[in-house]
Amino acid sequence: MKFLTLETFRLGLKNLKLHKLRSLLTSLGIIFGVAAVICMLSISEGASADEMRMIKLLGTKNVIVNSVKPSKTKEVAQGNTNLVEFGVTRDDFSIIEKTIPHIRHIVPLRTVAYQARHGEHEAAIQTIGTTPAFFKIVNIGLEQGRALVSQDMSGTSNICVIGQEVRQALFPAKDPMGETILIARYPTAVPFEVVGILRWVRTAGAPARGVDQRNLNNEILIPFSTAESQFGETTRKVGAGSREYIKMQYSGLYITADELVNVLPVSKMVERVFKHGHAELDYEIKVPLARLELAKRKARNKKFTLGFIAGVSLLVGGIGIMNIMLATVTERTREIGIRRALGAKQRHIAVQFLVETVVLSTGGGMIGVLLGVTSAHLISQWAEWQTIVSLWSVGVSFCLSVLVGIFFGMYPAMSAAKLDPIEALRHE
């Protein structure tokens, strides 16, 4: 019995070796199917991980409020100059701070300038007034120097921390530490000493997609107290053929909840404060935790969709194997009759053909795994897309290839086993 089983396996493998090219072509559907599953899932996993990273960079305990210019704003025209007033106010800040529970930090932001200069180098750069807590709650670090500290908030310290793009634009050939930047304040400029340089803040896609759709690499951060005392509430923004004065008490708030479970309740209370205090929709509220949950659901749906699409190619590969094996059964009908006449049972014939399909699908699956992992790596290198090849995607795709071989090989194997020996011997 043991000898017959081993002989059955040997015959199955021998037949595949006799037709190497046909065996390879039969396996191509499985090879490309497995590779497609791994490639598509690795690209999806990489894109999802990048989106998750960007959302987590916002801080999952944070609620972010931004001032937004509404379509209808209060404007006072003076020649070619418009005064526009909108956004988050001190009253909003005070109400949130005094009435909403479960808040650990509330960090104000104020945009005070849009141009900066050092020597002969000048660039469009936003200057933001903020507090030391901002560096902690948005998880950014320093490459050189120091961040803003509490002592900087007590007076009118003219010091600043700059991003990497500011460094490249204003200090292309020297170290910015200790140097002076002139920040535009119409009709003059205010000097600020560089005391720190941020590490490069990675962004997803366009530069504007950084922390809360900000590009911290192209911003100058100064103490909030200095922003209030030296720049006031009105900033000047020059456009093509016009000048616009923007009156905005706060350009944004970062509100940090004490616990993760309190983030959504705090965001609802913040939303009620702004709905009650603002007739115009001159603000937007973003909740990274809610966006993170939505991104996770989207990622799961995308994986299922891409996995299904790629799995279709595995199905096609399985149909290809079944088609070839059915043709093989017809081609080897006389051989089957001879084996049956010599004493082989139906199960031996079925096992012989099933061995061939499983070997084809398993071998194709292994080659497909290697091709898929290699392709994912090449895509990451050449297209500069982040790809993540997970063990589960490799395992699932390989197991599917084996199951496809067994499923689609079963019918040809049973067809061969059920052939009548006498009729098979008469077959020409």
pLDDT tens-digit readout, 265-294: 999 999 999 999 888 888 999 888 887 777
Lowest mean pLDDT, pick from 67-71, 112-116, 259-263, 275-279: 67-71
- Domain boundaries defined on the chain: 2-54+295-426, 69-281
Sign of CA dihedral 29, 31, 34, 40: negative
Lowest mean pLDDT, pick from 228-242, 262-276, 315-329, 361-375: 228-242
Report the candidate in 221, 276, 328 with the shortest Cα–Cα distance to residue 92.
276
Instruction: State the SS3 of 216-229.
Output: HHHEEEEEHHHHHH
Lowest mean pLDDT, pick from 46-55, 115-124, 207-216, 381-390: 207-216
**At 81, is the pLDDT very low, low, confident or very high (cuts 50, 70, 90)?**
low
Task: Assess whether pLDDT exceeds 50 at residue 205.
Answer: no
Supply the pLDDT for residue 425: 67
C-alpha angle with apex 82: 158 to 212, nearest 5 degrees?
A: 55
Most confident of 5-14, 212-221, 262-271: 262-271
Pairwise CA distance, residues 381 & 360, whole Å: 31
Pairwise CA distance, residues 410 & 322, whole Å: 9
DSSP E strand stretches across 164-251: 180-185, 188-198, 219-223, 234-239, 242-247
**At 350, is the pLDDT very low, low, confident or very high (cuts 50, 70, 90)?**
confident
Average pLDDT, the chain: 81
Supply the pLDDT for residue 210: 42
Report the candidate in 54, 127, 9 with the shortest Cα–Cα distance to residue 292.
54
Task: Assess whether pLDDT exceeds 50 at residue 102.
Answer: yes
**At 260, is the pLDDT very low, low, confident or very high (cuts 50, 70, 90)?**
confident
Residue 288: CB atoms within 10 Å? 22
Task: Assess whether pLDDT exceeds 70 at residue 213.
Answer: no
Supply the pLDDT for residue 179: 95
Supply the pLDDT for residue 73: 56
**At 207, is the pLDDT very low, low, confident or very high (cuts 50, 70, 90)?**
very low
- C-alpha distances in angstroms, 109 versus 93, 123, 225, 321? 11, 21, 11, 64
Task: Assess whether pLDDT exceeds 90 at residue 117.
Answer: yes
Tracing tokens 């995308």 back to the chain, one arrives at 302
Task: Assess whether pLDDT exceeds 50 at residue 209.
Answer: no
Pairwise CA distance, residues 90 & 71, whole Å: 22
**At 330, is the pLDDT very low, low, confident or very high (cuts 50, 70, 90)?**
confident
Concatenated DSSP letters for 101-161? SSEEEEEEEEEEEEEEEETTEEEEEEEEEE-THHHHHTT--EEEE----GGGGTTT--EEE
CB 99 within 8 A of CB 277: no
C-alpha angle with apex 204: 198 to 209, nearest 5 degrees?
A: 75
Pairwise CA distance, residues 386 & 412, whole Å: 42
Supply the pLDDT for residue 12: 62
Supply the pLDDT for residue 182: 95
CB 87 within 8 A of CB 283: yes
CB 316 within 8 A of CB 407: no
For residue range 142-152, what is the model confidence (pLDDT) as tens digits?
999 999 998 99
Tracing tokens 């603002």 back to the chain, one arrives at 278
Q: Which helix (H) or strand (E) holds 252?
A: strand 252-257
CB 202 within 8 A of CB 216: no
